[in-house]
Amino acid sequence: MQVKDQLIQQLKQVQVIQTQFGDLIGNDFKSAIDDSKVHSIGDIENHLKILKEENRTLQIGIIGRVKAGKSSLLNALFFDGKDVLPHAATPMTAALTTLSYGDRPAMRVEFFSKIDLLAFERLFKDHEEAISKGIEEKKQHRQQAALRVTAPTSNIAASRKSPSVAVRAIPEKTDNEWYDIVKKELQSKNPSTASAHELWCNVVEAGGIEKRPKDLRIEKNSIAELSRSLGDYVGAKGRHTPYTKCLHLELPFESLKDICVVDTPGLNDPILSREKRTQDMLKECDAVFVISPAGQFLTTQDLELLERLASREGVREIFVIASQIDGQLFGAELQDCAGEILEAISRQKKSLIKQAQKVFDSEAVQRLQIGDLSEQLEQRMLTTSSVAYAMQTLPPAKWNDTIKHADEMLQKKYPLGFANPEQRKQTLEALSGLPSVVQSLHHVRHHKTNIFACRESDYLDGQLQASEALVSALKVRAEKHQSIFINSDLGEVNARLKEINSVRKVGIASAVTVYDQLLQDLRINLPIELKKLINTSFEKASSKAESAKGSELRTRNVSGMWSWMKRVVGTGGTEDYSVMIIDAASVRREFENFSAILETSLIELVGKTGIKWRNDANKDILAALREAIDSTYIDVNEIKRNLRNVVNDMLSVPVPELPSIPDNMYATGKLESSQAVAFGEAAKEYLDNLKKLSGTYVEKFEKQLKESEKKSIGEALFDDLLQEAEELRKQLKDCQATKQRYDKLLSLLEEMAA
């Protein structure tokens, strides 16, 4: 019999026993189940269903810069090279995309919210102000340069240059030309804001906020139909592209069965809500492929993309793909390969591995959680060429100019690799790198299957052991109750009931007096300790947040003739100014860690205090009851057991509900000036909110302590004693039937334990 079947059968038998014989054991039945930690049949089935669902849907993340070759790789891997996914032209067309299997081609489109679009508008205005300021500075510099050229610094200089020559050397520009120059410069300095500027322009051109479409789902009859529709939502010129936030594709490709591919936008995403969604989805990925062009391999941008994985613990399946490798096979260092293209590919890969190892060994990358990547680079660093794959799969009539040029250059440089059709096939397969990527995907699938198979097996084994322990515990408790039944007589039980009722009032008064004092002490002392913990924690967090702010000293020209003259003679005319710098990802990680540590600390403090309080309550109340009650018919051990159950039920501990990191803190990279200020304000607001909710937790706990005062511990304690004595009296009234029921119960438990 399989473990699952054995477990379910055993738990069903426990249910039958509880229904038919639960009254014989009383409260001991419930406490035995609670102590065993065994789950209900429904919970077990649900948990196994979740495990199977996770096992069935393997999450694979794809991250990389725009134009790194993500779409080409995905089209090659999953769609036989067909251009199902449009190639993103800019960060704005690089929507967050998920690919999964569906019986019919379909897509679900999520559009930006009104709040998102209003945020773009604000960033647009900030960027426009920066452009205007930059144009003004450019014009001032031009005027000063023109004056410097025409200034009569010496007779020789005057004879060499004339005003007419100066004007030709520094021609006047139109406002539009200045605008384009400054805009281009700012784009390289602050690509995130520049992207938001571009997006808002596209939104206005598409009709503005009021024309924002509603989220939709579209089904098509064929892949071709769906592919044609995609251009409207994620194409470079799509009419709805400016509004598209996320695209979810369901496609009837066998290669997508059992997996979900998460294709993330590139860096510099100004849409913080989408950046947060991207990070959340990446955290759930079972494997991640980082794509970086071989010609600009593992740049700062790629490392910033890897930071998106930093908060995901336990991700071991990370691979790096050096794309567009075909463009790196014509360097001087490969001339001694004697036309052997396979040797050239091998050497280039070794060079890239060496470069990657140097990057991953650097201090800046040590903090990233990149699993086994740095230790297994030879297996986890792959090379690909979408051009080579296109040469394999497309007829020459469909080749574009890029493919034609690559084919010409490769045949010229490496003629031996293209000497005959078989040699050509082998060369292009090695150059495309697709078999290695497919093999890595198979490795991930197999690895994940094993993990979930082990998880399911471990879970079922653990539950079966818990169930067997439950059966043993029930047998022990049934034997104890049977012994009490055998050694009791009706007269003694009646006397016991009478005695319990007679001492009940005194016992309640004694228990309540001690309990109230203990509860009052807890109400005074615990909130003080919690507040002290919160204040100390926030002092440290505020200090860390402040230290995360940095500044850079920069120099700018001072306007005015006197300042210009100083610059001409090299004696000044400039001024230093400070720019605030914040590493957004580092600050966010600090806050995430702080929030988690704070939550754990609150729970630990309350938990430890609660354990001590319960122990004191059990000890002090039991001592008070022993002193107040002198009864032949009340067993101290019974009082102790009942007291423990009652005290545990009296004090409930709330779980802290602390806020998660807000969307406006999901910026990436180093922020400066107004962006750094805005991020700093968001961080402060989050800390303030966190502190406020921590205080709310203390208030909530104080409220629950007040609610505990309303409960009567004495009544709860003596009600249990009365109930058990009353149940024993019923059993003794029908002695023979009860004896048979005990025999039957123990026989069933022995059969289950065998």
Please say if the pLDDT value at position 106 is more than 90. Answer: yes
Q: pLDDT tens-digit profile of 688-697?
A: 888 888 888 7
Q: pLDDT tens-digit profile of 55-78?
A: 567 888 888 877 778 888 888 888
Please say if the pLDDT value at position 321 is more than 60. Answer: yes
User: What band does 650 get if pLDDT is binned at 50, 70 and 90?
Assistant: low
pLDDT of residue 161: 44
Amino acid letter at 594? F
What is the 3-state secondary structure of 195-245? HHHHHHHHHHHHCCHHHCCCCEEEECCCHHHHHHHHHHHHCCCCCCHHHEE
Beta bridge partners of 61: 262, 288
Please say if the pLDDT value at position 669 is more than 70. Answer: no
Most confident by average pLDDT, 410-414, 591-595, 665-669: 410-414
Does residue 572 or residue 129 have the better pLDDT?
129
Please say if the pLDDT value at position 163 is more than 50. Answer: no
pLDDT of residue 393: 87
Q: Which residue, 171, 205, 239, sits at the end of a domain?
A: 205
Q: pLDDT tens-digit profile of 424-483?
A: 999 999 999 988 988 888 888 777 777 667 767 878 888 898 899 899 989 988 898 888
Q: Residue 259: in which H helix or E strand, if any?
A: strand 259-263
Give domain status of residue 45, yes or no. Answer: no
Give domain status of residue 568, yes or no. Answer: no
**150 and 243 share one domain:** no
Give domain status of residue 458, yes or no. Answer: no
**391 and 536 share one domain:** no
User: What band does 383 get if pLDDT is binned at 50, 70 and 90?
Assistant: very high
**146 and 64 share one domain:** no
Give domain status of residue 177, yes or no. Answer: yes
Our separate counts of H helices and E strands in the chain read 26, 12
| CATH code assigned at 264 | 3.40.50.300
Q: Where are the alpha helices (DSSP H) in 37-102?
A: 41-56, 70-78
Instruction: Indicate the number of domains in the chain.
Output: 3
Q: Which residue, 391, 426, 445, sits at the end of a domain?
A: 445
Give domain status of residue 752, yes or no. Answer: no
pLDDT of residue 250: 92
**178 and 80 share one domain:** no
Give domain status of residue 84, yes or no. Answer: yes
**111 and 122 share one domain:** no
Give domain status of residue 431, yes or no. Answer: yes
For residue 751, count other CB atoms closer than 10 A to its CB.
Answer: 10
Does residue 462 or residue 216 have the better pLDDT?
216
pLDDT exceeding 90 applies to what percent of the chain? 8
Average of pLDDT values for 68-95? 71
pLDDT of residue 2: 83
Does residue 735 or residue 190 have the better pLDDT?
735
**433 and 351 share one domain:** yes
Give the domain extent around 143.
118-205
Please say if the pLDDT value at position 738 is more than 70. Answer: yes
Phi and psi, residue 298, nearest 5°: 50, 60
Average of pLDDT values for 620-649? 72
Q: pLDDT tens-digit profile of 124-161?
A: 888 888 888 888 887 777 776 666 555 554 444 444 44
**415 and 316 share one domain:** yes
Contact of 646 with 716, CB cutoff 8 Å: yes
pLDDT of residue 165: 41
**269 and 370 share one domain:** yes
Contact of 111 with 248, CB cutoff 8 Å: no
**397 and 514 share one domain:** no
For residues 551-574, one letter each, b for 16 or more C-beta atoms within 10 angstroms of the residue's C-beta and e for the rest, the string is eeeeeebeeeeebbbbeeeeeebe
Q: pLDDT tens-digit profile of 177-200?
A: 888 888 888 776 766 677 778 888
For residue 641, count other CB atoms closer than 10 A to its CB.
Answer: 15
Please say if the pLDDT value at position 30 is more than 60. Answer: yes
Does residue 517 or residue 168 have the better pLDDT?
517
Give domain status of residue 349, yes or no. Answer: yes
pLDDT of residue 145: 66
**129 and 89 share one domain:** no
Does residue 211 or residue 330 have the better pLDDT?
211
**DSSP reduced 3-state for 319:** strand
**537 and 649 share one domain:** yes
- Structure tokens of 134? 């930059």
**638 and 678 share one domain:** yes
Contact of 668 with 267, CB cutoff 8 Å: yes
pLDDT of residue 422: 92
User: What band does 269 get if pLDDT is binned at 50, 70 and 90?
Assistant: low
